[in-house]
Each structure stands twice: as structure tokens, then as C-alpha cells.
Amino acid sequence: MTGPLQGRDLLSSADLSLAEYELIFATAARLKREFREQRRHAAQPLDGRNVALIFEKQSLRTRVTFEAGLNQLGGHALHLGDGIGFGVRESVSDIAHNLERWLDGIVIRTFDHSVVTELAAESSVPVFNALTDDEHPFQALADVMALSERIGSLKGRVLTFVGDGNNVYHSLALAGATLGMEIRLAHPAGFGPHPDIVAKAEALAATSGGKIVVGRDPRVLAPGSDALYADVWVSMGQEEQSHARVAAFAGYCVDSALLDLAGPESVAMHCLPAKRGQEITAEVLDGPRCLALEQAENRLHVQKAFLAESLGREPLAQ
Ligand code: CP
Ligand code: NVA
């Protein structure tokens, strides 16, 4: 018997149906409970599975959670590091056709999203997007799981992303739209989302009963939000724009006043790493209304759930 995610890539948050999101959350919740109780898993669905980890950008959470998650389910991670000259020493296609002869899957963090789609198109083994300039789908999975653990069903609930219409926002908009949420974005002029992603999210929202709202002023968009989400103003690869970005994003900080304006029960979210005092204050990030560490914890479990469903010998879902 094979599950619906057997052999599947995850490149974009739009790759999953509502039922597939629910399957991953159910499996991840079970794995999380078991891990919290025993720090290990009885079932080892990834026994004998070897997965390459290719990171062309820095990472703490994603590297550690993919490697630890593979180990915890009996699999093995191979860090390829910078040593393979990805796309320089050898083409993406040649690398894909070699790796597929030896390994069972490929996790990749890179710049241009088209590299990940090319790798997936060329490779006969599943490819898992660990962040590109356009998307961060495993982050969105962990985020919506953390939010629903705190506030319950997400249908009709409102998440407002404050800041850059970037990779993290794109994936949240696509995931939230699939789940029937209202996803708002407050961004400064010139730092909006990709129009194709907004169009895709709007199409998903039209089916699910969700809503996509894109505007400017966080003080107009925050009221009535269940969650305010912050991410760095300067993403990896944008370091040369640092000064211009810090100037442009002044006023786009998730602070206590904005969180109170959102609502008395509203929570703050952040994918981490954070720059305290820029996109979020230390008081909010380190305070009881912030889910950042729950989001980080869930990375481990949603990724294990997806890897087990995609690469596991037996589907974990019951
Ligand atoms: N949130 C996240 O992806 O963290 P890292 O960049 O440390 O992996
Ligand atoms: N937008 C950030 C997310 C880091 C997890 C970046 O791309 O650097």
C-alpha cells in the first residue's frame, strides 16, 4: 500500500492539497507527541534511506532538523556542502542523474527557484525545497501547524505578514490560501510579493473560502489578525541592499503596540533567525505571545512527516 505522498517532491506550498496538508499535520502531531515523550521513534520508516543535503546559503534550523529528522526515523543525511561546485563544476542535470543512482532523495537550499525545479525535473528521486529566493514550504508547514496548535482550526482565521513580500510570505500565502485562511501582507512600496504567486494564492483562496489581502500600512491591516508574522528585512543574498532595506522597512516592526492593535489574544510569529529591534522587538520575540520556538520545533516534525510519507517503506498515516 502506498500513501498519496509516496515519491513526491515538495518544491512549493502550492504542491499540496488540503487533504495532504491535513495528512502531514496528523503524522507530524503523532511524531511530535512520541518524540516529546520518548526522544525517539519506535517505527523507523526511513531505515536504509540516504538523502543528500545541499545548502548554498547559511542555515541552522533547516540543516539540523533535516539531519536529525532523517536520523530519528532510521535514515541517513549526507551533507554535500560547497565541495560539489553545484551548477559550476557540473550542471544541475548531471548532478541529478548521478545522485539518483546512489541516493533516495535530495534536500536543497539555493537562490534561484528554477534550480530546484530543474533538479526535480531531472532527478528520479524526490527533491525537497529547503528555501529558495521564492519559497520556503517546510517553514510554512511548521508555521501553520504551530498556529493551529495555539488557536485551533485555521479556517477563516487571519494572519498578517508585516514586511517583505518574500519567500516566507509567498509560502505562507499559498499554504494559508489552501487552508481557507485570510492572509494579509503589509509591505513598503517596492517590496511587494511576486504577482504570479499572489494570483496563485488568490485562485486557491477562491476555492477554499480563504482571502488574500495585499496593502501598505501595518496599522490598518493588523486589527482583527489572529497572528502577526515578521521576517528579516534583509534576506540571504540581499546583503548589498542592506542600507536601503533598513531605511525602507522603518515602521514595519512587530512591537507590543502593533500586537495589541491586532487584538488581545493575537500572537506573534517569526521564522528565525531574527534581528531584534528591526522587524520584531525583543520584548515581543521573547514574550509569551510569540510562537517562534514552537514554529522552530515543528520544523523537525513536519519534515519527518513529509520524508516518511514520501520516502518511507510504509506510509506512516493510519
Ligand atoms: N527558519 C529557517 O529556515 O532557519 P534557518 O535559515 O536557520 O534554516
Ligand atoms: N527570508 C529569509 C528567511 C530565512 C529563514 C531569508 O531568505 O533569508
pLDDT exceeds cutoff 90 at 87: no
* 318 band by pLDDT with thresholds 50, 70 and 90: low
pLDDT at 194: 98
pLDDT exceeds cutoff 80 at 81: no
Domain span(s) for CATH 3.40.50.1370 in the chain: 13-135+296-311, 138-294
Residue whose CA is at the smallest distance from ligand 1 atom 3? 62
Residues with catalytic roles = 109, 136, 139, 231, 271, 299
Check if 29 has its Cβ closer than 6 Å to any atom of ligand 2. Answer: no
Arithmetic mean of pLDDT, 116-122: 98
pLDDT exceeds cutoff 80 at 207: yes
* 1 band by pLDDT with thresholds 50, 70 and 90: very low
3-state DSSP assignment of residue 4: coil
Summarised one tens digit per residue, pLDDT across range 168-183 is 999 999 999 999 999 9
pLDDT at 85: 85
* 307 band by pLDDT with thresholds 50, 70 and 90: very high
**Closest C-alpha among 148, 152, 194, 155 to residue 178:** 155
What is the DSSP-derived secondary structure letter of residue 254? B
Give me the chain's average pLDDT, please.
96
Check if 296 has its Cβ closer than 6 Å to any atom of ligand 2. Answer: no
Q: Which residues contact 245 (CB under 8 A, 6 or more apart)?
A: 164, 191, 233, 234, 238
For helices 292-311 and 18-38, give the axis angle rounded to 10 degrees. 110
Q: Alpha-carbon Rg of the chain, whole angstroms?
A: 19
Phi and psi angles of residue 39, each rounded to the nearest 5 degrees, phi first: 60, 20
Arithmetic mean of pLDDT, 82-111: 94
Residue whose CA is at the smallest distance from ligand 1 atom 5? 59
- Domain 138-294 annotated CATH 3.40.50.1370: yes
Spell out which residues line ligand 1, taking CB within 6 angstroms. 59-62, 131, 139, 271-273
Q: How far is 27 from 196, CA to CA, in rounded Å?
A: 31
pLDDT at 313: 80
pLDDT exceeds cutoff 80 at 279: yes
Q: How far is 216 from 235, CA to CA, in rounded Å?
A: 20
Q: How far is 167 from 178, CA to CA, in rounded Å?
A: 17
Half-sphere exposure of 159 (CA within 13 A, CB side): 32
CA-57 nearest atom, ligand 2 = 8
Are residues 16 and 178 in contact, defined by beta-carbon separation less than 8 angstroms?
yes
Fold of 13-135+296-311: Rossmann fold (3.40.50)
DSSP-assigned beta bridge partners for residue 55: 109
pLDDT exceeds cutoff 50 at 230: yes
